[in-house]
Copies of this chain bind each other. A is one copy, B any other.
Amino acid sequence: MSKLPVIEMFGPTIQGEGAVIGVKTMFVRTYGCDYRCGWCDSAFTWDGSAKDKVRMLAPEEIMAELNALAGDNFGCVTISGGNPALIGEGMGTFIRMLHERGIQAAIETQGSRWQDWFYDVDVLTVSPKPPSSGMKTNWEMLDGIMDKMKTQGSSAHSLKVVVFDDEDYQYAKSIHRRYPDVPLYLQPGNENVTEEGDISARLLGRLEWLFKQVIADPGMNKARVLPQLHALIWHNKRGK
């Protein structure tokens, strides 16, 4: 059976962002990414600094560890990375295993790769990266993913764009115009992911800035602006 490269598992905690903001969830973080975003808050998943922590685990081994961590105290597992869409059939098996136990699977990916198991994800967040990341969007690939997901109905997937500056905001608008029927979440970027101490005032300032952009913009009447609640409460600490 296909194994998955897992770099960390933790929880239960509360999902702090995006379509399932506020829901209790376990986190499974996979290793490896095809992107190198300048402001990545999980660069240890691809920069080699934590490579010795990666374990190749079978889906049932992941399941067993989640159960050991939390017993029956969760109903949702969030799979993040890195880019979980680099992983093939092992992920599909893991998602089916979650469903057999009545557990929801939430996955975030940047939309640079397709996997057939996307169809089975309960909450698929496609998060294309704006100009400030330094990455280039593969529009052909993203169009293909959004086309396929359309068949799933809009509750199954949403878009999320992290916004650091005006250029990112324009990028988010272009995403919204391109896929107008897909729920769009805007999230202010965290400009310093290594700063220690209480960063909530800085983050709330950026949330207010993004609120004001959207409030003033008739092209964004349906977009949703959300913060990262975990960062407001637990700041830049990992594993929360």
Contacts and interface: CB of A to CB of B under 8 A. Distances in A.
A221 interface: yes
Interface stretch (A20-28, A82-90, A164-172): A20-28
Contacts of A201: 200
A14 B229 contact: no
Contacts of A22: 185, 224-226
A197 interface: no
Interface in A1-51: 12-14, 20-24
Contact of A75 (B71, B211, B221): B221
A130 interface: no
A224 B21 contact: yes
Interface stretch (A56-64, A110-118, A212-220): A212-220
Nearest to A76: B221
A207 B229 CA distance: 9
Given A21-B226, A75-B221, A201-B200, A233 B215 contact: no
A222 interface: yes
A185 B208 CA distance: 23
A232 interface: yes
Interface in A176-223: 185, 200-201, 204, 207-208, 211, 214-218, 220-223
B214 A204 contact: no
Contact of A221 (B24, B200, B220): B24
Contact of A13 (B72, B215, B222): B215
A13 B226 CA distance: 13
Nearest to A212: B14
A227 interface: yes
A233 B204 contact: yes
Contact of A215 (B24, B204, B214, B223): B24
A71 B14 contact: no
Contacts of A73: 215-218, 221
Given A21-B226, A22-B224, A24-B220, 6 more contacts: A12-B215, A13-B215, A24-B215, A72-B218, A73-B215, A208-B233
